[in-house]
Structure 1
Amino acid sequence: MTLPDRSTLPRRDYLRTLVAVGGAGALAACLETVRNDAERTIPAGTDDPDSLPERQHAWNDALPTDDHGNVIPPEHHVLVAVSLADDVDPAGDASKPRETVESALRTLERAYEWSNEGLLFTLGYTPAYFARFDESLPESVDLPDPEPLIRGGNPEFDEYDAVLHLASDEPDVVLEVEEALFGDRETVNGVDLERDLTEVFEPLEDHRRTGFVGEGLPAEHTDVPGVPDSIPEEAPFFMGFRSGFRRSQATEDRVTIESGPFAGGTTQQLSSMDLQLEVWFEQDNHFQRVSKLFSREHAEEELVGDYGEALADSSGLTDERIESTTADARQYGVVGHAQKTARARVDGEPPLLRRDFNTVDGDRPGLHFLSLQRDIDDFVRVREAMNGENLDVPSANNGILHYVFVDRRGNYLLPPRSLRALPTPDPDADSE
């Protein structure tokens, strides 16, 4: 991709665009832009990577929170899809490739603080990776092949081996790490990278995905086709409202695998979606958007505010509002997305921990919906509740289904940190 013209873009938008482009040229341009910031430093990591949490997905304690206790996600995200090199067989003698992967990842942990100001990352593996082995995953791990999950849906599936998720508030950090692991850069935050990943993994450029989260960022992309001028300036997501409310998210404990050899890990679901924002903003008014995203009662009682700021730490879905979903469909001919999906709660608790982010990959507005859950079946139940096929409501008023289209979907196992380097389906047997 061609580098953007610095003179035509605000600084923040220019840096976001460089992350989307990627590569050595984008990194050089990014460093040239940020290096004159005298107050800016990238905090170093730890000399003892073993002191970091065993859970790869243990991000929340390392992230800041807002005034209501909601976790503030990192601003910049890169998803690097990879396949194993032709001469790497994880089912055979893979001790050297495993050592290479672990060495490279530990270097990142020494180079960058485990935080939004440094670097957070996970490495997850697909069902296709585990299909390379004769043995199956243990019963304690639910990792089926991805499915469409909606009538008439035909998404492509992630059938490569793994995905590396890089996240930071600093755009040059995610670019530097990607270029060091898969390109020609030899240092990360001043630390020599003794091993990169090119001998083990081949990055799949066509499946590289990027994105961003942050108040005001979506409104800075009205120059992108399909992004209307009417997005609220303060909104952190393209749909115009806040997300990730603390009380409407699963905890990291709730999504963690509790038993078996992969205890301490989790499963990850990744859906890449196209958003029809022009229809969402220009054909519907604020009252209708609130009704379709939250509930009719949210709209009537003005519970949300302009972009969700009035909701504090919860989506406001009480037991009564959830139970009224079917009645609202009959009475008003509309149901809310959050109202529908809340029907999949377990004992009143949300089963998913969302870490999704906006994207303009392909020069179109979209969403990379990334969720963590103990079992993929938890996500399937939420998605089926979102489909609302048992509700008597027109498709245009069935939550946000009319505006969101899934292009790709993938399921992943995020092993605990100690098993993240080319895991086998039965690590206990390997240690005997």
Structure 2
Amino acid sequence: MTLPDRSSLPRRDYLRALVAVGGTTALSACLEFASDGDDGDPDVPTGTSDPESLPDRQHAWNEALTTDEDGNVRPPEHHVLVALSLRDGVFDDAGDGTDHSVAEDARETTESALQTLERAYEWSNDGLVFTLGYTPAYFDRFDGPLPDAVGLPEPEALTAQEAPAFDEFDAVLHLASDRPEVVLEAEEGLFGQRDRLNGLEVETDLTGVFERLEDRRRTGFVGAGLPADRTDVSGVPESVPEDAPFFMGFRSGFQASQATEDRVTIESGPFAGGTTQHIESLEINLEQWFQQENHTQRVSKLFSREHAEEELVGDVGEELTTTNGLTTERIDATADDAREHNVVGHAQKAARAREDGEPPLLRRDFNTVDGDRPGVHFLALQRGIDDFVRTREAMTGADLDVPMANNGIRHYIFVDRRGNYLVPPRSLRALPPADPDAEIEGD
């Protein structure tokens, strides 16, 4: 891909565009720009000399990340989803995934490469956080199934209106940092294009184990002002609020409206300490959202009718501190709002999937302009994919007597891709077998 024109873009736009392009040339341009910037950014903090000291949960990010002024976890600004396919010979020599000698070499290589990242970069916004998750297609090569405690079905269309493509490769690596050069450098170092990462020599990479699927690479960003910076992209109107962290104009990720990391963690079986991950890539019709709807209508459709009538949200959600404001009463009123007021909110509908008042999903989604169109890569962690499906069905609101145009934000978002993943605990993240207990017993 062609590099963006540095002279025509503000600093943040240029760096975000380099992450989207990817590759060694984009990394070189990013490092060059960072070195002569005038913002006084500190050096990237180095990681730990003992990766074993990090939490066993790969998804244990929250305590390491910074928080906003209200105490909500602040996600990293830059994200890359690297799609991976296993190379021939890693498992195939025995024909059934039971050639432990071949697999063990590949596992050691994978773990060594991932520990290089943890030694090179601090586990933080200013360094790097990441996860490695595996699709059902990866586990299909094994004779035995995943344990019952792991709910990882094949992805599927969840409404009659969608016809998404599915992630049927083997794995996805999610890299996230406030520093665009870090996600680019980490990705290139893992695939043999960088000799050193943050000054640390790269002794092992993933090139002998995984192939990068460049056409399935996905990127994105989240942060106040970043969406409004993308009005140069077709489909992003000038009316995106200047301070909004997400394309649809409002804050998200409120602490009390997110599942805790404990809630989304698998509790039993050999994959205890892991989680499941769903990624769906969505296109957003922002022009219709901003040009045909006023602020009150957008609040009604994204939150609830009462949020709009009582002016609970503010311009970009700044009036909502640690919760999206969906009380039990507002959630219980969903069907009445549909029938009597002809509108329901997206968050209002989804909140019906709560259990004992607790949300089942931990969202780590981010904006994207992949394909030069505005969208979002919706990334959710949950104990089992059935939690996601149940929440998605509640959000769809097929049971509600309301026109599609007023049924939350369904009229404005379109699903392009879906994928389900198991994110094992760190101790099993390197090419896990379908049943680790069975493999240990058989060794």
Q: TM-score, normalised by structure 1?
A: 0.99
Where in structure 2 are the equivalents of 1:305-344 lying within 5 Å?
305-344=314-353
- The alpha-carbon deviation at position 184 of structure 1 amounts to 1.8
Partner of 2:234, secondary structure, is coil
* One-letter amino acid of the structure 2 residue matched with residue 382 of structure 1: T
Provide the residue aligned with 1:11 in structure 2.
Answer: 11
Q: Say if 2:92 is the partner of 1:92.
A: no
On the 8 A contact 1:91/1:132 being kept in 2, the answer is: no
Q: For 1:173 and 1:289, locate their aligned partners in 2 and report how far apart those are by CA, in whole Å.
A: 36
Unaligned runs of 5+ in 1: none
- The alpha-carbon deviation at position 69 of structure 1 amounts to 1.2
- The alpha-carbon deviation at position 13 of structure 1 amounts to 0.4
Provide the residue aligned with 2:69 in structure 1.
Answer: 67
Where in structure 2 are the equivalents of 1:16-415 lying within 5 Å?
16-37=16-37, 38-89=40-91, 90-93=97-100, 94-415=103-424
On the 8 A contact 1:91/1:424 being kept in 2, the answer is: no
Q: For 2:46 and 2:172, locate their aligned partners in 1 and report how far apart those are by CA, in whole Å.
A: 24
- The alpha-carbon deviation at position 152 of structure 1 amounts to 2.5
On the 8 A contact 1:4/1:18 being kept in 2, the answer is: yes
Q: For 2:242 and 2:361, locate their aligned partners in 1 and report how far apart those are by CA, in whole Å.
A: 28
- Partner deviation per Cα, 1:216-239 (whole Å, 9 max, x = no partner): 000000010000000100000000
How many residues are treated as equivalent by the alignment? 432
- The alpha-carbon deviation at position 39 of structure 1 amounts to 4.3
- The alpha-carbon deviation at position 430 of structure 1 amounts to 2.4
Unaligned runs of 5+ in 2: 92-96
Q: For 1:359 and 1:183, locate their aligned partners in 2 and report how far apart those are by CA, in whole Å.
A: 26
Q: For 1:41 and 1:419, locate their aligned partners in 2 and report how far apart those are by CA, in whole Å.
A: 32
* One-letter amino acid of the structure 1 residue matched with residue 240 of structure 2: I
* One-letter amino acid of the structure 2 residue matched with residue 390 of structure 1: D
- The alpha-carbon deviation at position 87 of structure 1 amounts to 1.6
On the 8 A contact 1:83/1:203 being kept in 2, the answer is: yes
Partner of 2:125, secondary structure, is coil
- The alpha-carbon deviation at position 425 of structure 1 amounts to 1.0
Partner of 2:263, secondary structure, is helix
On the 8 A contact 1:270/1:409 being kept in 2, the answer is: yes
- Partner deviation per Cα, 1:315-372 (whole Å, 9 max, x = no partner): 0000000000000001110000000000000011000000000000000000000000
Q: For 1:92 and 1:307, locate their aligned partners in 2 and report how far apart those are by CA, in whole Å.
A: 55
Q: For 1:203 and 1:92, locate their aligned partners in 2 and report how far apart those are by CA, in whole Å.
A: 24
Stretch of structure 1 that moved more, 86-95 or 237-246: 86-95
Q: For 1:137 and 1:414, locate their aligned partners in 2 and report how far apart those are by CA, in whole Å.
A: 13
Q: For 2:404 and 2:437, locate their aligned partners in 1 and report how far apart those are by CA, in whole Å.
A: 49
Q: TM-score, normalised by structure 2?
A: 0.97
Q: For 1:146 and 1:253, locate their aligned partners in 2 and report how far apart those are by CA, in whole Å.
A: 24
Q: For 1:91 and 1:125, locate their aligned partners in 2 and report how far apart those are by CA, in whole Å.
A: 18
Partner of 1:413, secondary structure, is strand
- The alpha-carbon deviation at position 182 of structure 1 amounts to 1.5
Q: What percent identity do the matched residue pairs reach? A: 72
Partner of 2:188, secondary structure, is helix
* One-letter amino acid of the structure 2 residue matched with residue 158 of structure 1: D
Q: Which runs of 4+ in 1 moved over 6 A?
A: none
Q: For 1:276 and 1:232, locate their aligned partners in 2 and report how far apart those are by CA, in whole Å.
A: 16
Q: For 1:420 and 1:134, locate their aligned partners in 2 and report how far apart those are by CA, in whole Å.
A: 19
Partner of 2:314, secondary structure, is coil
